[in-house]
Every structure is written in structure tokens, then in C-alpha cells.
Amino acid sequence: MQFIVDPIIFQKNEALMVGVLVLNGVNNTSSHEEIQRFLRDAEAKVRSSLNIETFRDHPKLKALQETHQAFSNNPNKFPPSAQALVKRVLKGGQLPTINPLVDLYNVISLRYLLCAGGEDTDQCVGDIHLTFATGNEEFIGLGETENDPPEAGEVVYLDDKGVICRKFNWREGNRTKLTENTRNCVLVLEARPPIEHSELEQALGELQALVEKYCGGSVRMELLDTSNPSCSI
């Protein structure tokens, strides 16, 4: 199985970087008080450094919005996941506990203000592509049962069966979501300037260390860009 950022995506955004952690044999069932503390600490950092009136002007979040607009997505109507997390925190909310893997990538998303997600590769069919949708693919959103296909030309993650995440990392699909039964998966961090290659590597390294400590298994890091658009998973 391959994870592939199709060249047409890089043609439109040469600076895009996609960090991938390939996980095998993890345990996603245990509850860890430390992970909840990491979430609360990350939320506190967001509240101390950003405010609800101007948070969209932060350079990292502004770059996210500009990227989505360049790909014909309205980031206010369909906010990138990092922007949505920050807004929730600044409005006084706490991120819910989902499971260790999701909680850990949310911690990293808040710490670095980058979009994060994950897919259970045992539920994937064929290769995973970051590409443009035709508009005919199946997509059933997280917690939903009805098909809600993407628009033609929308940026999506998909496999041979259908779309697994829409508008980069706006909305996760139900079929490949991370659950307590997940054993093999990929965790994905999306980055673009002002986040540099070294900062993305640092974020990936932190996430890898956290996963190895709290979920076990084997973890391999890959960084995809214009010169390295794919990896095995």
C-alpha cells in the first residue's frame, strides 16, 4: 500500500509538505491521564497566545486559509481542522477525549497550529491519494450514514473505495476513522510556510515519541514534498 500526494496537488502548492507516521501493532485502547494533561496544557497555551477576535491573523492560520482559498475552499464555511480546534478552545471549550491516537495528534495540532488527522489502514482499500475529486466518489462523514460526495475538483484523501477525508483535513470519513480497535494506521500532519521543514520534522518527532510511549507498536516517519511525493505504508 502506498501513500501518494499526486503531482497535480504540488503543481498548485509547491511549498506543501505532508508528514506521515506509519504505525503498526499499536494499542489504542488504554486511557492515560498524562494525555489529558497534555491536551489541557496545549489548550492553555492557545488561550494565552491567541484571542477569538484576531486568531485567524496568526501567520500559520492565515497561511492555512490562503491555501484553502487557492484550492477553491471557503475556510470560514469549511474551516481547516487546526483553525476549528483553535476556535473551539478560544470560545471556552475543551477538546473531548476520543482515543489515545486522536488525542495525541490533537495535542500536536494545537502545539504547532498545523492540521492533523489519521486513517485506519486496515479499513483502507488500495493506495491512499491526496488528490482532486471527480465528484462521483462515495463519502460518508464521521458519525454519519448517508453518502455526501465531494464536489468535482475538491481536494480529498481517497482510496479505491471512496473519499476518506474532505477538503484537505476539514472532515474525516467514518469508514477509516481511528477507533479502539485500530492496530495499523497512518497519522498525517499537513504543513506549509511559515512552517519550515525542520519544524514539521520536530512535530512529527514529538508525535512519534508520544505514540511509542502510550500506544506502543512500531512507528516510521516519512516526509512528503515535491521531491518525495509518496511512501509505502
pLDDT, mean over the chain = 96
Domain count, the chain: 1
pTM of structure: 0.95
Residue 106 has pLDDT above 90, yes or no: yes
The CATH number assigned to the domain holding 54 equals: 3.50.40.10
pLDDT 10s digits, 115-129: 999 999 999 999 999
Helix (H) or strand (E) holding 189: strand 184-191
Q: Residues 167-177: what's their mean pLDDT?
A: 96
Kindly state the average pLDDT of the residues 159-180: 97
Crossing angle of the two packed helices 81-90 and 33-49, in degrees rounded to 10:
80
Range of the domain at 100: 2-232
Number of residues in the chain: 233
- pLDDT of res. 146: 95
